[in-house]
Structure 1
Amino acid sequence: MCSTKKSTPGDPYRLPCNVKPLHYNLVIKTDLEALKFEGHVAIDLDIVEETSSIVFNCADLELEQVSIHSEALKTEQIQIASQTVDKDQDRVTVQVSTALPAASKAQLRASFKAPLTGSMTGYYFSQTEIDGKKVHYTLTQFEPTDARKAFPCWDEPALKATYDITMVSRADTVNLSNMPVVSEKPYAPNSNEYSDSGDEMGKLTKMFSNLKSEGSSGGWKVTKFQTTPLISSYLVAFANGPFHYIEGSYTSPISGAVRPVRMYATKEIIHQAKFALDVNVRCLPMYEEVFNVEFPLPKLDTLVAHDFDAGAMENWGLITGRTTAYLIDEEKSDIAAKKRVAEVASHEVAHQWFGNITSPEWWDVLYLNEGFATLMGELVILDKLFPEWGASKEFVNVHLQSALALDARRSSHPIEVPCDDAKKVNQIFDALSYSKAGSVLRMLSDFVTEEKFLKGVSIYLKKHLYSHARTVNLWQGISEATGVDVPDIMDNWINKIGFPVLTVTENAGSITVRQDRYLETGDVKEEENQTLWKIPLNLLTTNANGESTVRRDIVMTTREETYQLDTNLPFKLNAGTSGVYRVLYSPERVTTLGRQCSQANSPFDVTDRMGLISDVMQLGKSGLLRTSAGLSLIDAMRSETDYLVWDSISTRVNAIVGVWWEMSDATRNDMNAFRRSLFSPLVKKYGFEPSKDDSHDVRQLRTLAIAEAAAAKDEEVLQELCSRFKLFVDNDDHSKILPDFQRSAYVNAVRNGGRPEWEAAKKVYKNPPTPSAKTHAMAAMTATTDPALIDETFKFLMTDVKSQDMMYFFIGFNGNRHTRRRLFAFLKENFDEIYKRFEGTFALGNIVKISLRGFATQGDLEDAIAFFKDKNTSKFAMPLEQSLDGIRADMKWLEKSNSDVVDWLESWSATHGKAPSKY
Structure 2
Amino acid sequence: MPPETSQASDNPYRLPTDVKPTHYDLTIRTDLKDLKFDGYVTIHLDVLQDTKSIEFYVSKLELVQIRLTSAPLTQTFAQNSTSLKLYDDQERVVLELAQTIPAGSRLKLRIDFSGDLTGSMMGYYRSRFEQDGKEAYYALTQFQPTSARRAFPCWDEPAFKATFSLTMVSRTNTVNLANMSAISEHVYSPSQAENPDVAAWLIHKFSSLNMEEAAEWKVTKFDKTPPMSSYIVAWANGPFAYLEASYTSPISGTVRPLRVYTTADAIQQGEFTLSIMKKVMPLYEQMFDIEYPLPKLDTLVATDFDLGAMENWGLITGRTSGFLLDSKKADLHAKQAVAGMQSHEIAHMWFGDITTMAWWDNLYLNEGFATLVGETIMLGEIFPEWNLRAAFVSGELEAAMSLDAKLSSHPIEVDCPDAGMISQIFDALSYDKAASILRMLMYYVTEEKFLRGVTIYLKNHLYANSVTEDLWAGIAEASGRDVPHVMNNWVTKMGFPIVQVTEVEGGIHVRQDRFIENGVADPKDNETIWSIPLSLLTTSADGRTTVDHSILLDEREKIILLDTTKLFKLNAGTVSVYRVLYTPERLSVIGAEATKANSAFSLADRMGLLHDSFALAKAGYLKMSSVLSLYRLFHAEKENLVWKAIADDLPAIPSAWFEYPDIVEKLQAFRRELFSPLVRKLGYDYPEGEHVDVVKLRTTAIQQAAAAGDQSVINELKSRFKKAVDTRDDSYIPADLIAVTYRMAVKYGGRAEFDFMESSVTRPKNPQVQLAAIYAMTATDDLELREKTWEYIMTKSRNQNLSSFFRGLQTNYDARRFLAQKFKENFDTLLDRLAGTFGLKYLVAASFNALTTDKDYEETVEFFKGRDTSFYKLTLEQALDNIKTKSAWIKRCTDDLREWLEQTA
**Fold match by TM threshold 0.5:** yes
How far off its partner does 1:97 sit? 1.1
How far off its partner does 1:217 sit? 11
SS in 1 for 2:637: coil
Provide the residue aligned with 1:833 in structure 2. 829
Provide the residue aligned with 2:4 in structure 1. none
How far off its partner does 1:203 sit? 4.2
Change beyond 3 A, Cα 1:191–1:725: same
How far off its partner does 1:361 sit? 0.1
1:700-749 deviations in Å (ceiling 9; x for gaps): 00001000001111111111000111123434332211101111110011
C-alpha contact (below 8 Å) 1:782/1:816 kept by paired residues? yes
The alignment of Structure 1 onto Structure 2 pairs a total of residues equal to: 897
Provide the residue aligned with 2:72 in structure 1. 73
SS in 2 for 1:269: helix
Instruction: Give runs of aligned pairs for residues 82-231 of structure 1, distance below 5 A.
Output: 82-189=83-190, 191=192, 193-196=194-197, 202-210=200-208, 219-231=216-228
SS in 1 for 2:39: strand
Change beyond 3 A, Cα 1:110–1:213: farther
In 2, the alpha carbon distance for the partners of 1:210 and 1:540 equals: 79
In 1, the alpha carbon distance for the partners of 2:597 and 2:77 equals: 82
In 1, the alpha carbon distance for the partners of 2:100 and 2:373 equals: 48
How far off its partner does 1:81 sit? 5.6
Change beyond 3 A, Cα 1:230–1:661: same
How far off its partner does 1:863 sit? 1.1
Provide the residue aligned with 1:28 in structure 2. 28
In 1, the alpha carbon distance for the partners of 2:520 and 2:393 equals: 26
In 1, the alpha carbon distance for the partners of 2:535 and 2:73 equals: 69
In 2, the alpha carbon distance for the partners of 1:651 and 1:241 equals: 42
SS in 1 for 2:264: coil
Instruction: Give runs of aligned pairs for residues 365-384 of structure 1, distance below 5 A.
Output: 365-384=362-381
1:470-510 deviations in Å (ceiling 9; x for gaps): 00111111111011110011100111111000011123442
C-alpha contact (below 8 Å) 1:539/1:571 kept by paired residues? yes
Instruction: Give runs of aligned pairs for residues 38-437 of structure 1, distance below 5 A.
Output: 38-70=38-70, 72-73=71-72, 75=74, 82-189=83-190, 191=192, 193-196=194-197, 202-210=200-208, 219-437=216-434
1:306-345 deviations in Å (ceiling 9; x for gaps): 0000000000000000000001112211100000000000
In 1, the alpha carbon distance for the partners of 2:104 and 2:855 equals: 63
SS in 1 for 2:596: coil
In 2, the alpha carbon distance for the partners of 1:898 and 1:208 equals: 74
**TM-score, with structure 1 as normaliser:** 0.96
Provide the residue aligned with 2:496 in structure 1. 499
C-alpha contact (below 8 Å) 1:25/1:165 kept by paired residues? yes
In 1, the alpha carbon distance for the partners of 2:420 and 2:49 equals: 27
C-alpha contact (below 8 Å) 1:81/1:97 kept by paired residues? no
Provide the residue aligned with 1:657 in structure 2. 654
How far off its partner does 1:98 sit? 2.1
Provide the residue aligned with 1:4 in structure 2. none
Instruction: Specify which of 735, 739, 747 is matched with residue 735 of structure 2.
Output: 739
C-alpha contact (below 8 Å) 2:420/2:870 kept by paired residues? no
C-alpha contact (below 8 Å) 2:62/2:113 kept by paired residues? yes
1:549-601 deviations in Å (ceiling 9; x for gaps): 11112111111111222333221100000101111112232232221111122
How far off its partner does 1:250 sit? 0.5
In 2, the alpha carbon distance for the partners of 1:630 and 1:404 equals: 18
SS in 1 for 2:410: coil
How far off its partner does 1:191 sit? 4.5
How far off its partner does 1:10 sit? 3.0
C-alpha contact (below 8 Å) 1:667/1:906 kept by paired residues? no
In 2, the alpha carbon distance for the partners of 1:353 and 1:211 equals: 45
Is residue 2:774 matched to residue 1:778? yes
In 1, the alpha carbon distance for the partners of 2:192 and 2:793 equals: 50
How far off its partner does 1:106 sit? 0.4
Instruction: Give runs of aligned pairs for residues 884-895 of structure 1, distance below 5 A.
Output: 884-895=880-891
In 1, the alpha carbon distance for the partners of 2:539 and 2:115 equals: 68
C-alpha contact (below 8 Å) 1:308/1:321 kept by paired residues? yes
SS in 1 for 2:732: coil
1:599-636 deviations in Å (ceiling 9; x for gaps): 12211111001100000100111111111111111111
In 2, the alpha carbon distance for the partners of 1:254 and 1:352 equals: 16
1:882-916 deviations in Å (ceiling 9; x for gaps): 1111111111111111111121111111xxxxxxx
Using the TM superposition, name which of 299-308 and 130-139 deviates more.
Answer: 130-139
C-alpha contact (below 8 Å) 2:66/2:76 kept by paired residues? no
SS in 2 for 1:88: helix
In 2, the alpha carbon distance for the partners of 1:94 and 1:194 equals: 27
Amino acid paired to 2:36 = K
Amino acid paired to 1:332 = K
How far off its partner does 1:76 sit? 7.8
How far off its partner does 1:190 sit? 5.2
Is residue 2:448 matched to residue 1:451? yes
In 1, the alpha carbon distance for the partners of 2:730 and 2:74 equals: 74
Amino acid paired to 2:17 = C
Provide the residue aligned with 1:533 in structure 2. 530
Using the TM superposition, name which of 290-299 and 728-737 deviates more.
Answer: 728-737
In 2, the alpha carbon distance for the partners of 1:812 and 1:625 equals: 31
Provide the residue aligned with 2:721 in structure 1. 725
Provide the residue aligned with 1:700 in structure 2. 696
% same residue: 50
In 2, the alpha carbon distance for the partners of 1:720 and 1:887 equals: 36
How far off its partner does 1:420 sit? 1.6
Provide the residue aligned with 2:3 in structure 1. none
- RMSD over aligned Cα atoms: 1.6
In 2, the alpha carbon distance for the partners of 1:45 and 1:162 equals: 12
How far off its partner does 1:192 sit? 5.4
In 1, the alpha carbon distance for the partners of 2:794 and 2:738 equals: 26
Provide the residue aligned with 1:605 in structure 2. 602
Provide the residue aligned with 1:617 in structure 2. 614
Amino acid paired to 2:232 = L
In 1, the alpha carbon distance for the partners of 2:689 and 2:331 equals: 16
Using the TM superposition, name which of 92-101 and 231-240 deviates more.
Answer: 92-101
In 2, the alpha carbon distance for the partners of 1:230 and 1:719 equals: 60
Change beyond 3 A, Cα 1:436–1:212: farther
Is residue 2:783 matched to residue 1:790? no
SS in 2 for 1:137: strand
In 2, the alpha carbon distance for the partners of 1:668 and 1:880 equals: 27
In 1, the alpha carbon distance for the partners of 2:726 and 2:208 equals: 55
Using the TM superposition, name which of 370-379 and 685-694 deviates more.
Answer: 685-694
In 1, the alpha carbon distance for the partners of 2:637 and 2:206 equals: 69
In 2, the alpha carbon distance for the partners of 1:571 and 1:902 equals: 34
C-alpha contact (below 8 Å) 1:162/1:229 kept by paired residues? yes
Instruction: Give runs of aligned pairs for residues 496-895 of structure 1, distance below 5 A.
Output: 496-664=493-661, 666-895=662-891
How far off its partner does 1:685 sit? 1.0
How far off its partner does 1:698 sit? 0.4
In 2, the alpha carbon distance for the partners of 1:820 and 1:510 equals: 50
1:108-150 deviations in Å (ceiling 9; x for gaps): 1111111110110000000111221222000000000000000
C-alpha contact (below 8 Å) 1:647/1:704 kept by paired residues? yes
Amino acid paired to 1:205 = I
Using the TM superposition, name which of 726-735 and 846-855 deviates more.
Answer: 726-735
Using the TM superposition, name which of 410-419 and 589-598 deviates more.
Answer: 589-598
- Runs of at least 5 residues in structure 2 that lack an aligned partner in the other structure: 1-6
1:437-469 deviations in Å (ceiling 9; x for gaps): 000000000110000000000000000000000
1:331-378 deviations in Å (ceiling 9; x for gaps): 211100000000000000000001100000000000011001001101
In 1, the alpha carbon distance for the partners of 2:846 and 2:471 equals: 35
1:633-688 deviations in Å (ceiling 9; x for gaps): 11111111111111110111011121111112x32221111001100011011101
